[in-house]
Amino acid sequence: MIAAIEPSWYLVLASLLFGIGAFGLLVRRNPLVMFMCIELMLNAANLTFVALATKLGDINGQTAVFFVLVVAAAEVVVGLGIIVSILRRRPGATADDLAELKG
Amino acid sequence: MFEQVVTQTVRQTDAFFGPEVGWFALSPMLALLGGALAMMLVGALTPTWPKGMYALASATTAGTAGALAMVQWDDITDNGPATLVGGAVAFDTLSMFLTITICLAVVLVSLLSDEFLRGTPNDGPEIYALFLVAAVGGIVMASANDLIVLFLGLETLSLALYVLAASNRRSLASAESGIKYFVLGGFASAFFLYGVALLYGSAGSTNISEIVATFQTGVDIDNPDALALAGLALLIVGLGFKVAAVPFHVWTPDVYQGAPSPVTAFMASAGKAAAFAAMLRVLVIALPFFRDDWRPVIWVLAVASLVVGSVLAIVQTDVKRMLAYSSVSHAGFLLVGVEAAGHRAGEADPGSGMPSVVLYLMLYSVLVIGSFAVVTVVSRGSGAGDGDSSLESFKGLSQRRPLLALAFTVFLLAQAGVPLTSGFVAKFGVIQAAVEERSYAIAIIAMVAAVVAAFLYLRIMVNMWLAEPADGVDEATAAGEPGGLRVPLSAGVAIAGAAAFTLFVGVLPGWLIDAADTVTAYAR
C-alpha cells in the first residue's frame, strides 16, 4: 500500500530545492553555477505555487507560475549577457576574481 | 463525455469577460512604455539622431508621463481612489505621488546622461529606453494591488537596472558591478517570490484586497498562521535587499561605485523610491494584520542601517562610495518612517508615517540625482570614461568651478538635513512621525546618526572649499584642455534645476507636505 502523494510533500520538496539553491549560491564560485542556483530558487517558488494551488483548489496560483516563467526567461537573457561579457574579457573568471571594487 | 467537455469549455470561453482596464488611468505607464518602444523602433530605423535628441525624447516622454500623473491626481482627489484591471492595480495618490517622483528622476537623469554618453558606443536610444522601461517597472511596483503584479514590476525594474549597471562596456568595474547586482538582485527576487508563494498558501490569494479581507475575518489572533509568518519573513528579506537596508546592503557600495554615474543616480533615486513604495504596499497596506510581527524587524533594520551607513561612509575615500553608504543611511531614515507607519497600519487614522516616507522619497530623489550629477561632471573632467571619483579629484573645486562647488554644497547640506533645504523637511518628517507614535528611541538614534553623517558631508565640503587643487589642473581648466573641467549644458540644467528644487522646497515645503498627506487614503 503506497500512501497517496499529498501537496504538503511538494512543499517540503520545494523548500529543500530553495535551500539547495540558496546554499549553492553562497558556496559556489562559478558565475554560471551561481546563476543556475538562482533559477533553482525561482523554480522552487514555482513548485510551491503549484502545490498550494492544488491544495487550495484555486487556479490563480498556477497562472502565477506562467508569469514567473516569463520573468525567469528574461532573467536568463540578461544574466547570460552580463556573464558572457565578463568571461569574454577574463576567461575562467570566478566570483573571487571579480574584486576590483572593494573598500 | 468528450463532447460534453468541449461544449463546456466553449461555454466557458463564451462567458469570459475581460476586466475593466481604465486605459486613461494607466496613461502615465503607457506613455513611458510607448516612448521606450518608439525610441527603440524609430532609433533602429533611422540614422543617428542629431546631438542631444535621444535625451530630449526621453526627457519629454517622462515629462509627459509626469504631467498625465498630475491630471490623474485631480481625478483621484475628486472621485476617490479605485482599483483597475480587475483589482490588480491600485489607482490612488500614493501611486501617483511615486509616479511623479520617478518621472522627475527620469527627466533629470536623461539630461545628465546626454553629454556623458556622447562619444561612447552607448550613444543611442538603448540606454534611454532602458531608463524608461525601468521607470515603468518602478511605477508598477508603486501601484500594484496584487503581489504577482508587484513581482513583475520589481523584475522589470531590476532587469533594466542590471543591464544599465553593466552598460559601460569599456570598464571592467561596470561589468563587475553589473554581475554583482544581478546575482544579489536575483537572490533577493527569489526570496521575495518564495515569500509571495507562502503568503498565497496562507491567504488563498495574491491579491492585496483579498489578503487583507482573509486575515481580518479568518485568522485567530492568538494563532497566526506559520505559513504567513514564514512568507512575511521572506518578503522582508527580499525587500530589504532592494531598499539596501543593513544587513542586506553589501551590494550597494560596489554597485554604486562601479556603475556609470548617471545610472547610479537613477538607482539611488527611482530604484529606491520604487522599492520603498513596494515595502509600503506589502507591509503597511497588505499585511497590517501582522504589524506587531514586522514592526520590530523594521526597527532593527532601521537602526542598523542608520548606524552602519553613517559610520562606514566616513572611512571611505571615493566620493561615489561615500554617497553609496550615505544612501544606506538614508534608507535607515526611510525605515524610521515605515516603522512609524507600522504602529497604526490598517486603522482609520493611519498616522503620518506613510506621508513622511513618500515625501522623503521625492525630496531625496532630487537631492541624490543632483549629488551624483556633480560627481559625474567632476569625475568626467578628470579622466576618460567614467573617470576618477576619488575625494582627491574634488580638492579645490571651488577655485576651478565655483558654481558647481556651490551646487554640490547645497546638495550635501540638504543630505545632512540642514534647515532651509529640502533634506531638513524630509528628515524632520520621518522623525516627527516616529515621535508621534512614541518611538522615542528610534527618533533619538536617527538624530544621532544624522549628526555622524554630517561629518561625512563636511569632509567633502572641506576638500572642495579649503584644499588646494592638484598641480596643473587649474591651467587645464582655464585653457579648456582635456583634464580641465567643463560643465555640459544639459547636465548644468539638471544640476541647477535640482538645486533650485532643493532650496525652494526647503523654504516653502507646505504644498508638498499637503500633497503627501493625501497618500493615507490608499486603494486596496
- Is pTM beyond 0.95? Reply is no
Which residues are B83's β-sheet partners? B90
Q: What's residue B478's pLDDT? A: 55
Q: What's residue B218's pLDDT? A: 62
Domain A7-89: assigned CATH number: 1.10.287.3510
In the three-class reduction of DSSP (H, G, I as helix; E, B as strand; rest coil), residue B437 is classed as: coil
Chain B's closest residue to A41, CA to CA, is B190
Chain B's closest residue to A50, CA to CA, is B197
Question: CA quadruple B224, B225, B227, B231: dihedral positive or negative?
Answer: negative
Q: What's residue B11's pLDDT? A: 55
Most B CBs within 10 Å, among A66, A75, A80, to test the B interface? A75
Q: What's residue B384's pLDDT? A: 47
Q: Choose the closest CB to B197 out of A34, A35, A45.
A: A45
The region, left, alpha or beta by phi > 0 then psi within -120 to 50, assigned to residue B383 is left
Chain A's closest residue to B257, CA to CA, is A101
The answer to whether B258 and B177 have CB atoms below 8 angstroms apart is yes
Alpha-carbon span B330 to B256, nearest angstrom: 15
Does B12 reside within a domain? Answer: no
CB contacts under 8 A, A 52-81 vs B, are 52, 55-56, 58, 60-61, 64, 67-68, 71, 74-75, 78-79, 81
C-alpha cell, B319: 566620493
Alpha-carbon span B452 to B328, nearest angstrom: 14
Q: What are the helix (H) ranges across B166-281?
A: 172-203, 208-218, 226-243, 251-258, 261-266, 272-279
ipTM: 0.95
Q: Which domain holds residue B48?
A: 23-520
Q: What's residue B215's pLDDT? A: 86
On the CB side of B11, CA atoms within 13 Å amount to: 6
Q: What are the helix (H) ranges across A1-103?
A: 7-27, 31-56, 60-89
The answer, for A21 touching chain B at a CB cutoff of 8 Å, is yes
The answer to whether B155 and B139 have CB atoms below 8 angstroms apart is no
Does B17 reside within a domain? Answer: no
For chain B, the domain total comes to: 1
Residue B407 CA: distances (Å) to CA of A4, B411, B426, B504:
70, 6, 19, 14
Q: Which amino acid is at A76?
A: V
Does B230 reside within a domain? Answer: yes
Q: What's residue B366's pLDDT? A: 96
Alpha-carbon span B40 to B244, nearest angstrom: 31
pLDDT along chain B (524 residues), means of 10: 53 68 91 96 90 93 96 91 90 95 97 88 90 97 96 96 92 90 95 95 91 78 76 96 93 93 95 96 93 94 95 91 95 96 87 94 96 91 65 86 93 94 95 94 95 92 86 57 73 95 95 92 84
Q: Which amino acid is at B199?
A: L
Q: Does a cis peptide bond (omega within 30 degrees of 0) precede residue B224?
A: no
Using the beta-carbon criterion (under 8 Å), do A102 and B254 form an inter-chain contact? yes
The answer to whether B433 and B340 have CB atoms below 8 angstroms apart is yes
Most A CBs within 10 Å, among B126, B174, B189, B255, to test the A interface? B189
Choice between A29 and B426, residue whose per-residue pLDDT is larger:
B426
pLDDT in tens, A85-102: 888 888 877 777 777 777
Q: What's residue B243's pLDDT? A: 95
* Mean pLDDT (chain A, rounded): 89
Does B136 reside within a domain? Answer: yes
CA R_g for chain B: 23
Q: What's residue B3's pLDDT? A: 54
Using the beta-carbon criterion (under 8 Å), do B201 and A81 form an inter-chain contact? no
C-alpha cell, A70: 516569463
Alpha-carbon span B428 to B37, nearest angstrom: 41
The answer, for B187 touching chain A at a CB cutoff of 8 Å, is yes
Using the beta-carbon criterion (under 8 Å), do B189 and A100 form an inter-chain contact? no
